[in-house]
Structure 1
Amino acid sequence: MGYEETIKQLADKAFLDKLYGFAYKRCNSSPEVEDLCSEIILSVIISLRKNPQIENFNAYVWTVAHGVYADFCKKRNLQSRMQITHDYSDDFLNMQTNPIDEFMESEEEKIQIRKIMYDISFLSKIYREVMVLYYLDEMKTQQIAANLGISETAVKQRLFSARNTSKKGATKMDKKYALKPVDIAFIGTGSPVGNDPRTKAERVLSKNVVYLCKNEALSAKEISEKLGVPMPFIEDELEIQVKGENGNYGLLRKLENGKYISNVIILDISEFNQASQSYQNELDDFCNCLIEYFNTNRKKILSFPFLNEQNDVGFIAWSLISSITWNLEGIVNDCLSKKYLKDIELVKREFSSVGIANYLDDDINLYFYGCDGLGGENLCGYKKVHFCNIYGARIEKHYGCGHNLSTDAQFMLMLKCIDGVDVNSLSESEKEVAAKAIESGLIKKSGDILRPKILVLDYKNRNDFNKLSEDIKPQIEPIGRKIADNLAKEIKTMVPRHLMNEYSLFSMLVSVPILHQSIEKCIEKGVLKAPEKPLCAEGCYLAIEK
């Protein structure tokens, strides 16, 4: 077998998988595995230069591999001693691995070797993911195979190769976790599309790493020891949580001393319950203001120039009550900034998040209500459209941020129905879409005419519609000031100093229960009309510009 044929054998994916498995058994971290693989390949190439003809590729390569590993261990021990003393000698410099490119004679060879190293790097990622999914997320091998798009046999081979590492700490979470695993319920505000760090913290390991750093800066080693999870997994997780989704805003931040601390406010459930009491103490007075507002402003609300007929204040109120509650939160934050925290400049970013932590086996319901707004241009003859829907305990979300309205058949049919559409004019496929849109509460049928069931208004009247919810401000301002007086004390004790410029998010978080409680109270008093089913028209409005 000649030189060129041997190089091709080195590039074979099956061989590289075996080589990586060989190294993975003998190393403590993925970077170390890649270094050992690189040195083995380099040694094979150097040896081939001297003796280009070999008879048995496998015997030749594995003989070299074992020799390189022996040298690798000596170098690793020397490097460890030198790192302890910080005394870098010529011996240390001489043991650094030279780039493989320097030993390649042609550009074609360089490209081939770079591809080999790329494949090794990819294997590194696969091995890490297999280990994390099996030992930390407790997936079955069949599930892991489906998740990663590889065979179940390949999963088992990688687990077998990783046995040495698993013995050093990566045992199953329920047996080895030093702390009781937690879950974190995150909420956010702003534009989440492309900016949402929560998307990087869906696994149990991710949430527990973030939780450990919520009030205390920790090193990767300290986190590894507290969780009983090997360092390579922790280091990978920390890098992910620092970068987040957009590379700039993650759930963790790295400090100059190399330690990590939470980049978002996280409250334990007990802290959340204590702080939210500042809002809940004023619930009765706030609900009385709501009830009085809707009763005294009935005519004004019904006279708003909606583009479809509306005659039920209890229905319209669904799109106003959330805004009123958030107006209360705004009053609280305004009072906090002027009276208690005037020297603190609030953080500004496209999207921000906060969280509530609880143990995984705790059964809690926080009754979050959220609101997603999304828009489009040049749809169905309209220059601009904006759709807004609230969702929570009683209402399911129609569309979330990032949803492409132009490809949604029900939404596009609803636009078509704004001026009324005869059901008999629809094709069979359109009738099926219409039936689904009626079921989901987007449109309604009156006789043979289809029209939107949700609120529809002119785009230019959006601000006037929002002002309807602002008319109550004079009545709820005293309530907001009382809440701020009590909440200021909680902020100073519960918000970490490095996150004090996010105190408004703390206020937003602890105000969450009051919207649910206000909705239930208003339904009880007949001010709000209870939805017939979760996916409904309540809490939705559409603004259009022709």
Structure 2
Amino acid sequence: MDYDDCMLQLNDKVLLDKLYGFAYKRCNSAGEAEDLCSDILVSVLSTLRKNPEITHFHGLLWTIAHRVYADFCEKRKKHTLIQPDELTDCLHVSDNNVDTFLETEEDRRLVQSILREISFLAKIYRDVMVFYYLDRLPVSAIAKKLCISETAVKQRLFSARNTVKEEVLKMDKQYTLKPVDIAFIGTGNPVGNDPRSKAERVLSKNVVYLCKKEALSAKEISEKLGVPMPFIEDELDIQLKGENGTYGLLRKLENGKYIANAILLDLDELEAGTKVYKKHLVAFCQGIKQAVEENRNQILSFPFLSRQKDPAFLLWSLISGIVWELDGAVKEVLKSKYFKDTETIRRDFTLIGIAVKPEETLNIGFYGCDGIKSPIGGQNICGYSSVFVSNVYGAKLEKHFSCGHNISSDPLLLITIRSIGGLDINSLSQQEKEYAAKAVECGYLQVDRETLTPKIIVIEEASKNDFYRLLPDYSPFLKDLAETIAEDLYQLIKQYVPKHLIQEYPMYSMASSIRILYEVIEYCIAEGILTTPTNQLNAEGVVMVVKK
């Protein structure tokens, strides 16, 4: 099907009705749906210009529609950050100029016809929604008012999503995509910098995995996957830019080919590194146990702002740092001994991916730690100029919050902050009591008679560094252990990390050590060194740091 045929298909009223229905179902207003349709139209025209021969126009249209909608959601999310008095100027503004992609008068005539039809549909859809949900008119009355059939009213109310899915499924049958999943692990600040948000589809993961170690052209990728070139070109563009426009999962070489921009490991390559760490697990854990026993009194005498009396509970907030300290010591040996002349990559956020095939199971027992902080120079929060909260999460603990979470809009965290020093339950309103009950349920607070106090660890900002140094200096013990581990890891890095990504070699050490935190936690729970959480969502691993 050539360009002209596609343009005629695009001007079909039934198709435009489906397209507008797709948009309206996902938007807050008719005007917003018009903007989304316009963005989809621009993307379709751009693709048609680049690829004049299209084998399945409907499949192309709906695939583009879904992709553009994903981008549209990102734009809409950014608009929520705009101040209310600025909002009016930002709504219903299209970033795209349709005329840019039109070359002939006939093109312009067709597109104007399409846009007129979309505007007409916008009014119809808007009227249907108002008549049905606000005026409470039955379907038959709406049909009479708008001079359309009752079936058309129902279609506009429910926007027939199945039709869209059928078109995409037709296209999917031509694919030879492999069911490769990629689990991504990152380090740094993911907010606004996370390229994995653009690689959630099967096609995305297949394209990235194909370029794991071998540079390929768009044509080669298209042939290997059996996917038409227009889809591959769009996908490559997405994976080059990522979320922030500069850090994607692919990079383009000078010869025009594409190669992975993040280390991708097969499962056996990851497990080889994990085994290097696991050989020393028992010795490492026994060292932790001895340190806790020898420093029990020092730990309990720390000036907490919340009542703490169990070292096994406190250790939940220190255990990640201890394991990461081992990983850091290993990286230091790698740098000083094996990669002296290699400058490591520096960016806000960096990923490593583990490819998992259908017959494989990824079980890394992952534990992570996310932290959030009140904005610098922002509003005072419950009498504190600065508040930082972190939470450990993983196999035994559910995540309370993620990076980017807003402390000042979280009522459970706010009432926890207010409870520092004690908060009289009788002084709370009914709404506040409900928040307090939820904070007790999730482990933030505890009740002592008629008073609420934090159950989580709360400390002053001035004593933060002292808290994380509660256990004695591990350097001599860790250094010997790190030397041995680094020697073995170096051989694996040479084998599994591509030369063009060698600056990211520390990510292999980090990924290899991830399961070790899980193994250490399991061992320490079994030995009574760590408390056993009573619930998945609990106080263990949550630290709040405040400053007056």
SS in structure 1 of the partner of residue 365 of structure 2:
coil
CA distance in 2, matches of 1:98, 1:199: 29
Q: Which runs of 5+ in 2 are unaligned?
A: 1-8, 20-43, 53-98, 119-155
What is the alpha-carbon distance in structure 2 between the residues aligned to residue 505 and residue 119 of structure 1?
50
Please report how far the alpha carbon of residue 466 of structure 1 lies from its aligned counterpart in structure 2 after TM superposition. Answer: 2.1
How far, CA to CA, are the matches of 2:514 and 2:10 in structure 1? 56
Render the CA deviation track for 1:239-288: whole Å, top value 9, x for unaligned. 11110000000111111111111111111111111121111111111111
Q: 1:452 aligns with which of 454, 464, 472?
A: 454
2:232 is the alignment partner of 1:234: yes
Shift of 1:489: 0.5
SS at match of 2:351: strand
Write the distance in 2 (CA, Å) between the matches of 1:374 and 1:98. 43
Alignment: residue pair count: 429
Aligned counterpart in structure 1 of residue 440 of structure 2, from 423, 430, 438: 438
Amino acid paired to 1:333: K
Residue 156 of structure 1 corresponds to 163
| Contact kept in structure 2, 1:322 and 1:515, CA below 8 Å | yes
2:386 corresponds in structure 1 to: 384
Provide the secondary structure at the position in 1 that maps to 2:178: coil
1:422 maps onto 2:424 in alignment: yes
Secondary structure in structure 2 of the residue aligned to 1:471: coil
Correspondent of 1:33 among 48, 58, 62: 48
Distance 2:373 2:432 in 1: 23
- The answer as to 2:262 corresponding to 1:261 is no
The residue type paired with residue 172 of structure 1 is K
Equivalent-residue separation in structure 1 for 2:160 and 2:234 (angstroms) = 25
Q: Give the aligned residue type for 2:393.
A: Y
Alignment partner, residue 545 of structure 2: 543
8 A Cα contact 2:412 2:439, kept in partner: yes
Q: Which residue of 2 aligns with 1:408?
A: 410
Residue 499 of structure 1, aligned match among 490, 498, 501: 501
SS of residue matched to 2:374: strand
The answer for unaligned runs of 5 or more in structure 1 is: 1-9, 21-28, 38-96, 105-109, 123-148
Moved more, 400-409 or 354-363: 354-363
> Structure 2: how far apart are the matches of 1:390 and 1:468?
18
Give the Å deviation of 1:314: 0.2
- The reply to whether residue 482 of structure 1 matches residue 497 of structure 2 is no
Q: How does 1:124-523 map to 2 (within 5 A)?
A: 153=160, 156=163, 170-172=171-173, 176-177=175-176, 180-360=178-358, 362-377=360-375, 378-469=380-471, 471-523=473-525
Question: SS state of the match for residue 541, structure 1?
Answer: strand
CA distance in 1, matches of 2:521, 2:100: 68
Contact 1:194–1:245 (Cα < 8 Å) also in 2: yes
The CA distance in 1 between the partners of 2:545 and 2:401, in whole Å, is 15
In structure 1, the residue matched to 2:121 is: none
- Shift of residue 171 of structure 1? 3.7
TM-score scaled by length of structure 2: 0.72
Residue aligning to 1:80: none
8 Å contact kept, 1:369–1:516? yes
Structure 1 partner of 2:95 = none
Rg larger in structure: 1
Partner of 1:195, secondary structure, is coil
Quote the offset at 1:362 in angstroms.
3.1
Q: Call closer, same or farther: CA 1:153–1:303 in 2, change over 3 Å.
A: closer
CA distance in 1, matches of 2:374, 2:248: 29
Q: Cα deviations across residues 381-414 of structure 1 (Å, max 9, x unaligned)?
A: 2100000111110011111001111111101110
**1:270-316 deviation per Cα after TM superposition (whole angstroms, max 9, x unaligned):** 11111211111111111111111111111121121111121100000
Instruction: Note if contact 1:30-1:232 (Cα within 8 Å) is conserved in structure 2.
Output: no
Contact 1:289 1:476 in 2 (8 A): no
Contact map agreement 1:388 1:542 (CA 8 A) in 2 = yes
Deviation of 1:380 after TM superposition, in Å, equals 1.4
- Contact 2:460/2:547, CA 8 A, preserved across alignment: yes
Question: Is the 2:444–2:455 Cα contact (8 Å) retained in structure 1?
Answer: yes
